[in-house]
């Protein structure tokens, strides 16, 4: 038997898909990401959405202002694509040096997506400019409409919208965010290096059975929904397969407990409190701990054309119980793995536990 690894040191990872919110919610969660990640792509679905470089600059300032003292965490910004996004805004994004992409939410597909795109045809000028200037399109890949089965939304989107988009803009770089199905993985694999995907901890860890186990579990409700076991297996194979097109994006999406545990509860899983530890758990179960670094710390930076981080983080094998909740402004936040044991723990930068 090979001896068990008890510590794991990897290049500091990045989170290529993160929701930080604003105001007191931002203050409550940003430290969790900053302790482990060097950078994060911060999603623009605020109220109102972050549609311009100027509003992205202001939002970035708020995030920096909310960081723990001395943190070198770098927020990378993305603009919220609308039917009215001007090509000139894409020029400004490219020139800004801190906007790394544009996020495409189909209108009505998820939380705060009402201002999203009603028809891709309306965005052709902006998309053409993105293709020309090599600005990455980050896609929430779910079809909307009452006739689409909730579990088929990703597959239908790929066939109806994504495949035609990839054909129409042959050089546009596209990330299928939070890919959740085997169909999605197969689609990405069938493209060249310009199409990539991020993978969340919850979609790698759980299938849709977990959402109903022991009664309805609102804290596991996210969009895209958790899928079948065979989908989860395809996601794990992609994440652990050393294919540079697949990389870490938590989609950590905090909502107050009261907003989750209610009729019409919000979609979103909060995972930033232990993201890298949960990915380590998934990779270890898959027998692929030695491949975590490529997925978490190399592939995303390489895809975005950014330098990999200089620093390192260390994880230690240590059983710890994830808190049942964390403070969240006037409310509280129920994290992924709440009250459960995790077997890996990040060693704090100063060496203390």
Catalytic positions: 251
309, interface contact from Zn ion, ligand DOR, none, CB < 5-8 Å by kind: none
Residue 140 makes contact with ligand DOR by CB under 6 A = yes
From 19, 129, 153, 227, residue interacting with ligand DOR (rule: CB under 6 A): 19
**What character string, x for contact with ligand DOR (CB under 6 A) and - otherwise, covers 215-234?**
-------xx-----------
Q: Comparing C-alpha atoms, which of 342, 335, 202, 222 is closest to residue 270?
A: 335
Tokens linked to 33: 């990401």
- Could you give the CA distance from residue 166 to residue 7 in angstroms, rounded to a whole number? 42
211, interface contact from Zn ion, ligand DOR, none, CB < 5-8 Å by kind: none
Least Å from the CB of residue 86 to ligand DOR: 25
Q: Comparing C-alpha atoms, which of 308, 281, 306 is closest to residue 294?
A: 308
Q: What is the 3-state secondary structure (H, E, C) of 82-148?
A: CCCCCHHHHHHHHHHCCEEEEEECECCCCCCCCCCECCHHHHHHHHHHHHHHCCEEEECCCCCCCCC
Residue 251 makes contact with Zn ion by CB under 5 A = yes
Least Å from the CB of residue 111 to ligand DOR: 4
Binding region for Zn ion (CB under 5 A) out of 4-12, 149-157, 202-210, 249-257 = 249-257
Size of the site for ligand DOR (CB under 6 A): 10
From 49, 249, 268, 300, residue interacting with ligand DOR (rule: CB under 6 A): 268
Q: Which residues pair with 80 in a beta bridge?
A: 103
Binding region for Zn ion (CB under 5 A) out of 20-28, 80-88, 250-258, 328-336 = 250-258
Tokens linked to 23: 């105001």
Phi and psi at 247, nearest 5°, equal -150, 175
Least Å from the CB of residue 351 to ligand DOR: 35
From 28, 253, 276, 288, residue interacting with ligand DOR (rule: CB under 6 A): 253
Q: Which residues pair with 10 in a beta bridge?
A: 313
- Could you give the CA distance from residue 241 to residue 238 in angstroms, rounded to a whole number? 5
What residue is closest to Zn ion based on CB? 251
Least Å from the CB of residue 289 to ligand DOR: 28
């Amino acid at each position: 038997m090979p001896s068990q690894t008890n510590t794991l040191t990897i290049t500091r990872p990045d989170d290529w898909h993160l929701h930080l919110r604003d105001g007191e919610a931002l203050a409550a969660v940003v430290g969790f990401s900053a302790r482990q990640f060097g950078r994060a792509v911060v999603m623009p679905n605020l109220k109102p959405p972050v549609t311009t470089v100027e509003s992205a600059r202001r939002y970035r300032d708020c995030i920096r202002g909310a960081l723990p003292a001395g943190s070198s965490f770098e927020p990378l910004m993305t603009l919220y694509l609308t039917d009215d996004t001007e090509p000139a805004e894409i020029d400004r994004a490219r020139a800004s040096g801190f906007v790394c992409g544009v996020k495409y939410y189909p209108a009505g597909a998820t939380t705060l997506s009402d201002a999203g795109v009603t028809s891709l045809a309306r965005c052709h000028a902006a998309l053409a400019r993105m293709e020309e200037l090599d600005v990455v399109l980050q896609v929430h890949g779910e079809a909307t409409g009452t006739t689409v089965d909730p579990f088929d939304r990703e597959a239908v989107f790929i066939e109806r919208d994504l495949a035609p988009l990839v054909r129409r803009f042959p050089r546009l770089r596209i990330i299928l965010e939070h890919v959740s199905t085997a169909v999605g993985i197969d689609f990405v694999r069938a493209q060249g290096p310009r199409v990539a995907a991020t993978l969340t901890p919850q979609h790698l860890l759980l299938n849709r059975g977990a959402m109903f186990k022991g009664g309805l579990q609102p804290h596991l409700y996210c969009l895209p929904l958790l899928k079948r076991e065979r989908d989860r297996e395809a996601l794990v194979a992609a994440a652990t397969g050393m294919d540079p097109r697949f990389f870490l994006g938590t989609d950590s999406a905090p909502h107050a407990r009261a907003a989750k545990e209610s009729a019409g509860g919000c979609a979103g899983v909060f995972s930033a409190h232990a993201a890298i530890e949960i990915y380590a758990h998934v990779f270890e179960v898959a027998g692929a701990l030695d491949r975590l670094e490529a997925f978490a710390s190399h592939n995303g930076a390489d895809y975005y054309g950014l330098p990999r981080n200089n620093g390192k983080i260390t994880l230690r094998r240590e059983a710890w119980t994830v808190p049942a909740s964390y403070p969240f402004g006037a409310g509280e936040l129920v994290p992924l793995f709440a009250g459960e044991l995790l077997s890996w723990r990040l060693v704090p930068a100063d060496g203390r536990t």
